[in-house]
Amino acid sequence: MAPIGIISGTVLHGTSVFRGLRKEHVVSEFGRVTVWASREIAHISRHDRDPGEYVLPHLINHQANLAALKALGIRDVVAVNSTGSLKKDLPPGSIVVPDDFILLADTPTVFSNRPVHITPDLSEEVRRGLIEAAAACGIPVVERGVYWQTEGPRLETRAEIRMMAAHADIVGMTMAAEAIIAKELGLAYAALCSVDNYCNGVVETPLTMETILEGAKRNRETMLTIVGTFIERRRA
């Protein structure tokens, strides 16, 4: 069976699922990517593993990342994403497996010289695998939701959040772009999103980066458990 592609942020670095991997460099027409791989997984850190080389969300080379996974024979990709909640009834600590997304900023593409018009979506097979993995370890997840991607790196204004909340459930800066590129490359892609904070203005408590990072750390073990179980079930 082909390895599973995993794309995550920095909070999962050095944890059990990602230990003992060999470092590889994969070069494509879109650039050079560092991949940490084993027989079971191929992991890409979208922001880079080196804290001194942190890649801001709007500067991530999604084309190179997904092309590297495809070059390694990956068919299924699981993304691990930190998000903010647009709704009071979706509190921090929740886990969402989105089934749709909105991206109104510049849309990335691997096609620069021919008219190719995909219909973006998220893989139902990979989504279902994540939902079943969570159920197998007794972790409740929200099985549907709309992810709104902003460009970053700034956070959103209160007015922007009110507008987004009318159409989406969670907000982040990376998932939709990855999903679009994955679809263009023929990869089956879905995401596991931790809700790490309420968005700006959803509650009265002011939003800070410290709040976001603390929420991501609290959710780390839950996300690792689901991803680890997903991998084990695929191996069985």
Give the tens place of pLDDT for each residue, 78-92.
Answer: 999 999 999 999 999
Instruction: Kindly report the CATH number assigned to the domain that includes residue 11.
Output: 3.40.50.1580
Q: How many domains does the chain have?
A: 1
Q: Tell me the CA distances in angstroms from 149 to 4, 65, 105, 152, 173, one per residue in order.
A: 24, 18, 8, 9, 5
Range of the domain at 154: 4-235
Quickly tell me which residue has 């982040």 as its tokens.
172
Mean pLDDT by 10 residues, the chain (236 residues): 87 68 93 92 85 83 97 96 96 97 91 88 98 97 98 93 98 97 98 96 87 86 93 84
d(CA 185, CA 195): 28
Give the relative orientation of helices 175-184 and 62-71 as an angle to the nearest 10 degrees.
Answer: 50
pTM, rounded to two decimals? 0.93
